[in-house]
Amino acid sequence: MTDTSLDALRRALRDLAAPAPSPELLERILQSRATGVRVNLPRSERRVAGWLWGALAAAAALALVISTRDSGRAPPDTGSAYSDIAAMPFWPPDALAQDARPPRAPRYAPVRIEARRAQAGTWVYQNCTVFDEVLTPCRGRPTTTVSTITVTNATWHGRPTWLVSQRQARERVGSPGDTMRTPLDTAYFERETLRPIYAALGGDRFRLERSFTGDTVHEALDIGGAHPRSWRRAAQIPAAPDAPLVLQWAGVDLTLLLQTLPLEGGWHGSVYTVRLVGADPSRPPFIPLDLRVVGSGHIEVPAGRFDCWKVESREARSMVTLWVSKDRGWLVKTNTRGTDWRAESVLLVATPPAP
């Protein structure tokens, strides 16, 4: 601009052009409504007296204490690390504040993968959750959580596959023996499509198995101990037969998928995640994960410095920011933000080593 006087600037601002929405946006809106998607729009902000916040906080704390008291449901002999899982009413929809609702439609077209780009390796991440920017288990706090994800070449009944395993370990700082490990989460994936074939989690007292045949997932969930329970369910997979699927248990593991995505500026695509089919009626078993590249930059983590794509990942009501290395598609860092908390995961070490 040649004239930057205040009046000229104001005129230019008023005349500033803006693009029009894409023609298909209305269709997407109507499709979302038709599939049952609902959004709570913000109301006008109203001031709430400080004492009321205090009363609400006290009530919430009281409700939390009451809801987490030992109700005698826990089997008496559950000495394993998963006694808390075995004792849960599986799952308590009221505590998780989830509503049963039909699945929403994916925002974008299905992702197209370049399967040849996937590589074997081991990735170790440190996870940390921060509440109110104060409480954090990984910065001077007593526990730290490390996730290890391994991808190896394998075969499944003679077919070449990827074997992906994942395990978390939470260790009390200064007490190396005081460690809680989650069960080994293992899954076989088709090499060409990254479609899961079989996935298993748990051991004797708690075991979840999922097998995928054609357009159907079969789920078997068994919880042992003094109050054994079992679920057997099957569900039709909404995605195309050759579309990749992302398995979800404690979290979404994108290690393999991200290596194969042709990320670039403006890229976007959707993929279905598979949750529990029979044991959690409060949420649909398949939820679209909408991914899109929103930026780029250099990220420094313990494993090294990486030139990354910044990818926004939306699943149901949560949004996660992913930093994915441009050269190999490694997941370098994730960031999830809630109202008063944020969770961060950074790559500690990778094998093969970072370039």
Partner 1 sequence: MHVSGASDESGGLVDGARGGRPEALASLYRAHGAALYRLAYRLTGTREDAEDVLHDVFVGLPEALARYEERGNLAGWLKRVTARVALGRVRSRKRRGEVPLELAGPGSEPLADPDGIALQVAVNQLPNRLRDVIVLKEIEGYSHREVADLLGISVVASRVRAHRGLARLRQLLEDGR
Q: Which residue ranges make up the site for partner 1 (CB under 8 A)?
A: 1, 4, 6, 9-10, 12-14, 16-22, 25-26, 28-30, 32-34, 37-45, 107, 265-266, 268, 292-297, 310, 319, 321, 337
The span from the CA of 24 to the CA of 354, in Å, is 41
CB of 331 to partner 1, least distance (A): 18
What single-letter DSSP state applies at residue 117? Answer: G
CB of 124 to partner 1, least distance (A): 24
> For residues 303 and 320, which CB has a smaller minimum distance to partner 1 in the complex?
320
> For residues 201 and 332, which CB has a smaller minimum distance to partner 1 in the complex?
332
CB of 13 to partner 1, least distance (A): 4
The span from the CA of 348 to the CA of 138, in Å, is 13
CB of 120 to partner 1, least distance (A): 31
- CB-CB neighbours of 80 under 10 Å: 16
Burial label for 120, CB within 10 Å (0-12, 13-18, 19+), is middle
> For residues 19 and 353, which CB has a smaller minimum distance to partner 1 in the complex?
19
> For residues 80 and 335, which CB has a smaller minimum distance to partner 1 in the complex?
335
> For residues 191 and 342, which CB has a smaller minimum distance to partner 1 in the complex?
342
The CA angle 172-122-335, to the nearest 5 degrees, is 65
CB of 211 to partner 1, least distance (A): 35
Q: Where are the alpha helices (DSSP H) in 73-232?
A: 83-87, 93-96
The span from the CA of 123 to the CA of 212, in Å, is 26
Tokens of 4: 């930057």
The span from the CA of 146 to the CA of 169, in Å, is 5
CB of 47 to partner 1, least distance (A): 10
> For residues 25 and 169, which CB has a smaller minimum distance to partner 1 in the complex?
25
Taking alpha carbons only, the member of 164, 161, 201, 162 closest to residue 183 is 201
